[in-house]
A = this chain, B = another copy of it.
Amino acid sequence: MTTDRYPSRHQAEASITERKDPVAYRNPDFSEGPLTKADEDFYDENGYLLFENLFEPDEIKAMIRELKQTMERNQDRDSVEVIKEPESNDIRTVFEIHKDSGFFESLAQNDRIVQAAQQLLGSEVYITQSRINFKPGFKGKEFYWHSDFETWHVEDGMPDMRAVSCSIVLTDNYEFNGPLMLVPGSQKWYISCPGETPKENYKSSLQKQESGVPDNDSMSWLVDKAGGSIDRATGPAGSVLFFDCNTMHGSSGNISPYARSNVFFVFNSIENKLTHPFSGQSPRPEFLANRENVQPITPKPEKLTDIPSTTTSKTKTKS
């Protein structure tokens, strides 16, 4: 039985404790990759890192094309992996895209992002969750503040803070179309959330999170610690954001005409594989938290335009 180093949802009151793990792991055996020492320092301090030029313009075009095609293939598919907007039939999220036996499976192994993840986590890595997100124009809903780690720890049994999210934004992100907002430095603190985890919580929490929500006092405290600032991940299509599993983040709704979409991979250290959920409940399904036959990724040096377009895919044939 693994010790619960980050208890949450056990008490009626919230609490704030210091992080017990490194942020940037700085293992000299995994120093090869696109990140400079200054990048690692920034990540250590702030909990995130934004690259505008990790991919070439023609590679970004290829990603946009594949994202669009995947969305279309999934529009009318009724599956747990496909999450719709509350009150409409619009797709919000498609999970497990790193297993599409096609374009995104290759992208998930691309050396630029895998080696960046290895640099940050100081070990070999695997993907614990992947998805494409689509926030439509005019009516994109907000995502309230949350630490991913809090959920992954309590509901998935991720032992330590040694995972990084990689978000490749495939639409221009402006201040006015609901960009991801991050609280700089928040990764250094663990907000233990009040309350308990309802059974099969994921079925509703993917549309609107009710458990694992930080309380207002803790949020104010974190933002105060950040000098009152909240950063926004704005930038042109193709920008790549890495952010720590415990960085507090969220986003406002999007009433602008501009949709937002992104590809999202969560890299976890191979030394941080999922155990039994610390809530004591059953693990969430595999599409949300990979735990079966997990193998480290071998980084693949490849130009994305060399990957063939996905025509049929696992995602497609399952429908």
A residues lining the B interface (CB < 8 Å): 137-138, 142, 144-145, 174-176, 178, 181, 216, 219-220, 223, 230, 232, 250, 252-257
Contacts and interface: CB of A to CB of B under 8 A. Distances in A.
A252 B250 contact: no
28 contacts: A137-B216, A137-B220, A138-B216, A138-B219, A142-B252, A142-B253, A142-B255, A145-B255, A174-B230, A175-B232, A176-B181, A176-B230, A176-B232, A176-B252, A181-B255, A181-B256, A216-B257, A219-B257, A220-B257, A223-B256, A223-B257, A230-B256, A250-B255, A252-B252, A252-B253, A252-B254, A252-B255, A253-B253
Contacts of A219: 138, 257
A257 B178 CA distance: 17
Nearest to A217: B257
A223 B254 CA distance: 14
Given A176-B252, A216-B257, A252-B255, 20 more contacts: A137-B220, A138-B216, A138-B219, A142-B252, A142-B253, A142-B255, A174-B230, A175-B175, A176-B181, A176-B230, A176-B232, A181-B255, A181-B256, A219-B257, A223-B256, A223-B257, A230-B256, A250-B255, A252-B252, A252-B253
Contacts of A257: 216, 219-220, 223
Contacts of A138: 216, 219
Contacts of A232: 175-176
A142 B174 CA distance: 17
Contacts of A253: 142, 252-253
Interface centre among A144, A219, A250, A253 (most CB of B within 10 A): A253
A223 B216 CA distance: 35
Contacts of A250: 255
A232 B179 CA distance: 14
Nearest to A145: B255
Contacts of A223: 256-257
A86 to B, nearest CB: 15
Given A137-B216, A138-B216, A178 B252 contact: yes
Closest 10 A/B residue pairs (Cβ): A252-B252, A176-B230, A220-B257, A175-B175, A223-B257, A252-B253, A253-B253, A142-B253, A138-B216, A250-B255
A223 B175 CA distance: 15
A257 to B, nearest CB: 4
A75 B257 CA distance: 36
A204 B270 CA distance: 54
Given A138-B219, A181-B176, A216-B137, A144 B230 contact: no
A216 B142 CA distance: 19
Contacts of A174: 230
A250 B216 CA distance: 25
Contacts of A254: 252
Contacts of A142: 252-253, 255
Nearest to A256: B230
Best-surrounded residue of A216, A219, A220, A256 (most CB of chain B within 10 A): A256
